[in-house]
Amino acid sequence: MTLFQDREQAFEQMFTHDEEARFRALARRNKLLGQWAATQLGLVGQKADAYVSEISQSLVARIVDEALVEKLRTDFEANGINQSDEQIREKMAELMTAAIAQIRSSTW
């Protein structure tokens, strides 16, 4: 292999690793978000587990993030809980930071 091919292969491996880590972090963030929302909604047991599963299985794209914000706000409103879109987005960002830390330390 040439030096250029070695560098190209190393870059591709780094990109793949970064994308996998990002996907795992987003999946973890969605699980944490579902747990937080279930707690806010007062869900316990199987209902909480089903809700967490529904949220955590959401695809991890920007458009889906906005759909999650809307779903959570709608669920909160239906249960008399006052959470603005901005509060939900702030929680999502907070949980993303936690998810990245957990992924990096491999504690989940």
Superfamily of domain 14-105: Domain of unknown function DUF1476 (1.10.790.20)
pLDDT digits (tens, 9 = 90+) for 19-78: 788 788 888 888 999 999 999 999 999 999 999 998 887 755 555 788 889 999 999 999
Angle value at C-alpha 102, between 99 and 104, nearest 5 degrees = 110
The answer to pTM > 0.75 is no
Looking at the chain, how many residues does it have? 108
Start-to-end Cα distance in the chain: 38
